[in-house]
Structure 1
């Protein structure tokens, strides 16, 4: 049995992945049990081990019905190395269905971090109940049009609220030697509610709705993934506009953690 995985994505994956799921063994025919297929589940992140009839990313892509080839991740445990593809919950369901009557049982690991999938051809996903990415003015009109922030754009501004807006919490999570610099800020199109009786949850709201919070410049992908693990897949990363409240107000294209589910 594997102790943990040293994944490319970052050291935190070893802490949060379900390492006990990775046990090569003979399996009886796989039967799918009813699953509550919520939006949160479908957008959650999983790893599927490349082996047997799923030994290449191309085969994973085909069975999952994915548009693009999944990202490959390397893992290492006590008994050797293994290779995985990073997939969504929706892709996992498709793969399970494909092997529902097979003796082969794919190995999945749940990676509990806030999903991030920013479109290159539209503003999606964006904060706000009135934002429709299918409308022509919200989509690319030519190949050269760029929607910001990009999926791999760093540094990138984040609008923070709740526990993450606490400098001491941020410093501890990111391993900073000094207190982080946060700017007083607002964003529009959201409403802060609560879930679980103690957590703040930003959900879509009308365009006129204003939320108070703080702007923080996330310097690297590693730092961003740390925050994504902290928020877990109860949240997802979406685009928003951040208005900083300094001496001169500035509006920047940024990101925010939006709650996935109902409050």
Structure 2
């Protein structure tokens, strides 16, 4: 899923992304800066502070990727705490993809 997310972010960044694919609302898991509701509110240009649920991902651990960027890696028996946010519309998903590509923060979609 991460590969698809980063491919979409690249297409958005270089302008080759032309149409909206079929969209299904989904939860996204945040374990970095986007866990802060005010940051998420700013990224998505929301009028109100978004609701984030406590969440965790099992069998993973965080390692630094290219120096300072946290990334998830498989690790049996370990879990990562974070927040889940329900992304209802494709435009919000695109805004998160653009933010991802600009700041290189990592998000996992379920």
Match of 1:171 among 41, 45, 48: 41
Determine if the alignment matches structure 1 residue 205 to structure 2 residue 72. Answer: no
Label 1:201 to 1:237 Cα distance change in 2 as closer, same or farther (>3 A). Answer: closer
For the structure 1 residues 180 and 237, does the alpha-carbon distance in structure 2 shift closer, same or farther, using more than 3 Å as the test?
closer
Residue 164 of structure 1 deviates from its aligned partner by 1.3
Say which is worse superposed, 158-167 or 189-198, in terms of deviation.
189-198
Question: 2:14 maps to what in 1?
Answer: 17
**Higher strand fraction (1 or 2):** 2
Write out per-residue CA displacement over residues 150-173 of structure 1, whole angstroms, 9 at most, x where no aligned residue.
x7311x111111011111110011
Quick check: which has more Rg, 1 or 2?
Answer: 1
Gaps of 5+ in 2: 1-7
Report if aligned partners of 2:69, 2:105 keep a CA contact under 8 Å in 1.
no
- For 2:46 and 2:90, how far apart are their aligned partners in 1? 15
Which residue number in structure 1 is paired with residue 90 of structure 2? 221
Q: Is the 8 A contact 2:28 2:107 kept in 1?
A: no
RMSD: 2.9
Q: Is 1:73 paired with 2:18?
A: yes
* Alpha-carbon displacement from aligned partner over 1:177-216 (angstroms, at most 9, x marks no partner): 111111111111221111243321112332x221100111
Higher relative contact order (CA 8 A, sep 6+): 2
Residues 158 and 190 of structure 1, relative CA distance in 2, 3 Å threshold: same
SS of residue matched to 2:51 = coil
Alignment match of 2:32 (pick from 158, 162, 166): 162
Q: Which has the higher helix share?
A: 2
How high is the TM-score relative to the length of structure 2?
Answer: 0.70
- In structure 1, what is the Cα distance between the partners aligned to 2:98 and 2:50? 19
Structure 1 runs of 4+ with >3 Å offset: 233-238
Unaligned ranges ≥5, structure 1: 1-8, 19-46, 48-71, 75-150, 239-254, 257-263
Classify the secondary structure of the residue corresponding to 1:189. strand
TM-score, scaled to structure 1: 0.32
Corresponding residue to 2:53 among 183, 199, 202: 183
**CA offsets, 1:126-173, max 9 Å, x none?**
xxxxxxxxxxxxxxxxxxxxxxxxx7311x111111011111110011
